[in-house]
Structure formats: structure tokens, C-alpha cells
Amino acid sequence: MVRIDKKATRLYVLDTNVLIHDPAALYHFEEHDVVIPMTVLEELDKHKNGIREIARTARQVSRTLSDITSQVGFDEIQAGIPIPGSIGVTGRLRFLCYNDLKPLDNLEDSPDNRILAETCRLRDERPDASVILVTKDINLRVKAAALKVPVEDYLNDRAFSDQDVMSEGAKVYPDAGEHAMGLWEALNVEVKVERADHHTYYQLSGEMPSDWHVGMLVSDCENGANFEAIIRELGPNSARLQLLANYRHHAGVWGVHAHDSRQNFTLNLLMDPDIDLVTIAGNAGTGKTFMTLAAALQQTLDMKGFERIVFTRAPIPMGEDIGFLPGTEEEKMSPWMGAFHDNMDNLLRDEKDGSSSWNNDATRSLIGSRVQIRSPGFMRGRTLNDTFLIIDEAQNFTPKQLKALITRAGRNTKIVCLGNVGQIDTPYLTANTCGMAAVVQNFRDWPHAGHITLRSVERSRLALAGEELL
């Protein structure tokens, strides 16, 4: 992005992809004016037909513009329409239409080039203001920079900036040593320990760290920690921490044991009846799906806490699409469920002879009666009661799509979102605009949600070598 010296008066020219990406983009420029070229209106008209998401969004933008213009006269449209909902000094919505627009030299006639020409014309007509083109198109931004046209990316949709990282959901204090302070030395608080409802709580009094939040793991070590707790309540000068159950050795989940503090925290979140939404991030091989399926099976089949397990994921191919798939909904989803079948094979494997009961028809029939594999495209309008919902590859969903899935939750439903923002296969999403990032940031301080970013513990030599090569 080119660094721009902005004047007090600014006119933001919106590209078509900005409005399709966020139909509410008109309202996010505060007191500054928003300009929509006629070329953008023509492109919206081309995209409005069909049932795809882009068509629905184009129609939504058109309805918004129609509502804004229906209450004003022609003179007001020419002067600029005050944008409703603005706080303080209102910005204005302007339309850009030139009857004698000249194309830029040596550039073919295309929508992108016409938008560039319209922006250049407006810049020349308004030397008193900063005229800035806003687009999600990287090539158009490069082209605009080469033509000395001020240009920016649309940033309002980002859950966090490029300089930040997604919350890890954990605060691990190093061992106290010569150059480091341990957990209690770093906190410098008064501690009161109490026992209630078969749980141990630590009531802290004093100045709390600014990077703490409700639902965070607090540990004194990554491996072999002596203190592991979740923050249940948090104020400026007080906090209430609950000690975690230890799933490392004897008390496992469906035969699965934790190897470090983060995995132990993950199993605690998955087994906690007070946590309704769990988000688990991490690289491949950190055990996200494995631990989630173990917790789902134990709570559904053994503890009878849920009636069913629903497993879904975004059907986004990593390479070329293989085309039409015959069969029922579950048969069509089967090629996308390799992670599910691989982990079920490992969960049901006999450690003595190495065989897996997952290949047994009776086992498949028993588990199949409680486990449903569903396509996310058919989830709208449903209400899932008494369900353990697993959303795999959540990084490939847009925030709007993931919102549609999360709002399916009904009575006694737990939702677990699994993902790795480093493995996004959708071309229009990034690590800070995908649905996974939006869910983590928006639910960070909700007491019934928990997030953890896992780190590699035991990885195969081949997987580690592959990461080093990349």
C-alpha cells in the first residue's frame, strides 16, 4: 500500500469488490465522502442475477442504494446525499458520472481502467481534497500506484491488523530463573484459595495484567506445569481463576491424553459444560480434530450429554475441483471427510494388535447412528438441539458463512470451530479477514466461549521436513 499524505477533506472512491465484500461499507468512512462511479453501478447490475452469494450481495447493495436515494430529490443527489447513521459530522454519498470520459493512454477499455480514469478525473477536479481509490483488487492497487493515483485496501473487515496476531488464548509464564520471573513473581497479587462445587478457585486481588481476558489459560510452564487455570472472572483489580482438570495420565478423554498445557486446556474446554463455543487453531498435526472427536464421542456415547454429533466443513478444494459427485448428501461429502475418517481410525485402534474396530460394520453402524456428516450449504434454517457441532476447516468460511452456522445452535448445543489460518484455500480470504479470525476476536471476552492456539508437540519427521522446505 502506498503511503498517502491525506488532506482534511477526503473523497473515497469505492470499487465494486469493496461493496460486494461488505455491503455496509458505505457507512464505515465516518465524516468523509463516499463516491460510487457509474462503472461500479453497471458491474453490480451484471452480478445481481443468480443464486450465488455474489448475486445476493449485489442485490443487497442495490437495495441499500435505492433506499438512500428514494427519499431525496435530483438536486440533493447532485450535491451529495447525507449518509444516514453517521455520528457527528455526516459524510455524503456521491455518484460519479461523466458523459465525456476519456480513457487513459495505452490502456484497453475495461471496468478497472474506467474506474481508474474516473478517479483521475475526479482528482483533477478536486485539488482541495484527497481523492482515494479503495479496492480489494491487488492488481488494480498496483496499477493505480503506477499511475500516481492514491489507493488503499479496505481494512474495516479485518479482525486484527497485519501487525497483530490472532489471540492465542493462553498466557504461559516462563520458569523463574536468573533473567525471568515466574507466574506469581510476575503477578504480585494477593491470593485466596477456595473450594466450591468440586472445583478449586484462586481469587486474586491486585493489579491485573492488561493482556488477560475471560476464558484464557494461565499456566506456569508449557510442559509439566504445576499451575494451570482458566480465567472465569476478570476486573481491573481482581480475578477469579479455576484450576483445570489434569488429562495427562489416568483421566483421559476416550483414551486420549494431553501432552502439554495447551492440549490439556483444549480438553478442559471441550469437556466443560459451561463453555458453549470453542475455537481451536493450530498447525497440522497438533491434534485439533483428534481431541475434538474424542471429547464428542465421550460426551455423546458415554455421558449421554448430547444426542448426536454433526460434523461439517467447507467443501473447498486445495487444487483443481474433481467435479460432480454422485450419491446422497453424506456420500457427496465423503471425499471431504478424510480427516474425520483418519481420526476415527486412530481413536478406535487397538494398541495391542494395531487393528482398528472402525473397519467393523457393527462399530460403524453404532457410531453412524449418532454421527451425522452434513454439508454447510444445507444448514440454513435449521435449529440444532442437543448437538455437538464440529466445524472443520473454519478458516475457509467467510465471517457471514460462519455466523450462519453458529446461529444454528439451539438448546444444549456445543459448537467447536477448528482451523489453521495458515492453510486458507479460498482466494478472497486472508488470515485476518476469514471467519475463524472474526469468531475468535468477537467472542474473546464472552464467558461461555474459549479459544486456544495449539503448538506442535509430536510431529513426524516427514511433516517437519516439509515445513522446513516451505
Q: What string of DSSP letters covers 354-383? A: --BGGGSHHHHHHHHTTEEE--GGG-TT--
Count Cβ neighbours within 10 Å for each residue of 276-299 and write b for 16 or more, e otherwise.
bbbbbbbbebbbbbbbbbbbbbbb
CA distance 440 to 452: 9
Q: Map residue 43 onto helix, strand or coil.
A: helix
Q: Which neighbouring-strand residues pair with 204? A: 191, 239
Note the Cα 255 to chain centre separation in Å.
Answer: 30
| Topology at the third CATH level for domain 10-152 | Rossmann fold (3.40.50)
Count Cβ neighbours within 10 Å for each residue of 160-187 and write b for 16 or more, e otherwise.
beeeeebbbbbbbbeeeeeeeebbeeeb
Please report the pLDDT score of residue 89 as a whole number. Answer: 63
**395 DSSP assignment:** G
CA distance 79 to 95: 10
CA distance 114 to 131: 16
The reported pTM is 0.76
Count Cβ neighbours within 10 Å for each residue of 213-229 and write b for 16 or more, e otherwise.
bbbbbbbbbbeebebbb
Residue 286, all three cell numbers? 497438533
CA distance 244 to 250: 15
Please report the pLDDT score of residue 356 as a whole number. Answer: 64
H/E/C letters for each residue in 102-158? CCCCCCCCCHHHHHHHHHHHHHHHCCCCEEEEECCCHHHHHHHHHCCCCEECCCCCC
Q: Which neighbouring-strand residues pair with 311? A: 373, 390
Strands 81-82 and 92-96: antiparallel
Please report the pLDDT score of residue 357 as a whole number. Answer: 62
CATH 3.40.50.300 domain range(s) in the chain: 170-469
CATH class entry, domain 170-469: alpha beta
Residue 384, all three cell numbers? 440444532
Phi then psi for residue 308, to 5 deg, are -155, 160
Please report the pLDDT score of residue 470 as a whole number. Answer: 45
* CB-CB contact of 264 with 246 (8 Å): yes
- CA contacts within 13 A on the Cβ side of 328: 4
Tally of helices (H runs) and strands (E runs) in the chain: 15, 18
**81 DSSP assignment:** E
Beta-carbon contacts of residue 194 (< 8 Å; ≥ 6 apart): 200, 201, 203
Name the nearest CA neighbour of 103 among 113, 112, 94. 113
The amino acid sitting at 51 is: I
Q: Map residue 349 onto helix, strand or coil.
A: strand
Name the nearest CA neighbour of 277 among 66, 436, 57, 46. 436
* CB-CB contact of 4 with 152 (8 Å): yes
User: Model confidence over 230-282: pLDDT tens digits?
Assistant: 999 999 899 999 999 999 877 789 888 998 899 999 999 999 999 999 999 99
**Residues 388, 391, 397, CA angle at the centre, nearest 5°?**
150
Residue 263, all three cell numbers? 492440549
User: Model confidence over 287-309: pLDDT tens digits?
Assistant: 899 999 999 999 998 899 999 99
Residue 259, all three cell numbers? 501432552
Per-10-residue mean pLDDT of the chain, 470 residues long, equals 74 92 87 92 90 86 90 86 71 88 80 90 89 91 89 80 74 67 82 91 92 92 85 93 89 87 94 95 89 93 92 72 63 66 74 63 71 83 93 90 92 94 82 90 92 75 48
CA distance 117 to 247: 63
Residue 52, all three cell numbers? 450465488
The amino acid sitting at 126 is: R
CATH 3.40.50.1010 domain range(s) in the chain: 10-152
CA distance 306 to 224: 32
Note the Cα 142 to chain centre separation in Å.
Answer: 27
Strand-by-strand arrangement of the 151-152 sheet = 81-82, 92-96, 33-37, 10-14, 130-134, 151-152
Beta-carbon contacts of residue 420 (< 8 Å; ≥ 6 apart): 281, 282, 283, 284, 288, 395
Q: Map residue 195 onto helix, strand or coil.
A: strand
